[in-house]
Amino acid sequence: MEKLKLGVLGCSKHFAMRVSLALKSSDLIRPYAIASRDREKGSAFAASHGFSKVYDSYDALLKDPDVDFVYIPLPNNLHFEYIKKAADAGKPVLCEKPICLNAEQAKEAAEYCQKKNVPIMEAFMYRFHPQWVRAKELAAIGEIGNLQTVHTHFSYMNKDAGNIRNKADLGGGAIYDIGCYAISAARHLFGCEPARAICTMIRDPDFKTDIYVSGILDFGNGRTSTFTASTQMLPFQRVTAIGTTGFISIEVPFNMFADVPGKITVRTGVGERIIESKIADQYLLQFNAFAKSIIEKTETPSAITDAIANMAVIDAIYRSGVSGKWEDV
């Protein structure tokens, strides 16, 4: 079977660091076209990562009939525009999180793609890793009793004024960049949507982006998720799901290494154990799963409705950051 030809919009550092190497092992995908507004930069990127075509505009890449699907790792403020442009070109879209800047945009983008009969998926790669598959299974079967709360911490230190994560007009900030994972993880483990949210939020005086956010999501019946996300704190991440009879803690929940087993600590009344998952590259698993759905013309492995629902919670968090009160989702 001929591999699907991938087109990438932008010379993404994220693609270079985490996706490029993974795709070398793919039986379904080959990097084909890269688009950059800087031709020299695009040519260098293509040479480094195995792209055979270089375009000096995103629109030009989308017009290439040989591109089978596109990956959008552009700044967050450009997602909405280029999802629609990709749909106009008939190209299936794998778009980095957050899918858009708010739920209204996400819903409109989803409906637009549906009208054009173009598959679209948000790139939450963590859900494809075996450690998360196992954690979800254990929570679902009642291994820790009734799930009552999910605690998530995700932070890193980045004070670079030139970094897109620190540019408010490009959709920067802690919630868009990493808080979205905390929200997604809680929704994934509970298997339902929170009714309301509240948070404390501090913005950088110069960047104007949110840099410290601590929030609570109310899933009803006493079930909650708490999280802290920060772009100016010691790099650390952890997810712990606590139930009535035990807990599940994921050591490296989001930026999991591709060359070592994942580790999940599980404690129940019987005792405590550490589960090591298979060594896996979550980016390879995600891209292959999306490619397979294109080839087989099946539903995307993660529904776009999930992306819309996640954005609705993000919207509530941002509203609470202004009001200081509970906000309905």
Q: Point out the residues that are catalytic.
A: 97
Q: Is the sign of the CA dihedral 172, 177, 179, 184 positive or negative?
A: positive
The CA-based angle 59-7-126, given to 5 degrees, is: 120
Environment class of 259 (CB within 10 Å of its CB; exposed 0-12, middle 13-18, buried 19+): exposed
What Cα–Cα distance (Å) separates residue 270 from each residue in 140, 143, 161?
A: 18, 11, 50
Q: Which of 320, 313, 325 is nearest to 98 (CA)?
A: 313
Rounded-to-integer distance, Cα 78 and Cα 4, Å: 24
Contact 144, 268 (CB under 8 A): yes
What Cα–Cα distance (Å) separates residue 73 from each residue in 19, 77, 176, 238, 280?
A: 11, 11, 13, 24, 22
Contact 136, 189 (CB under 8 A): yes
- CB proximity list for 313: less than 8 A, separation 6 or greater: 183, 187, 193, 194, 197, 217, 329
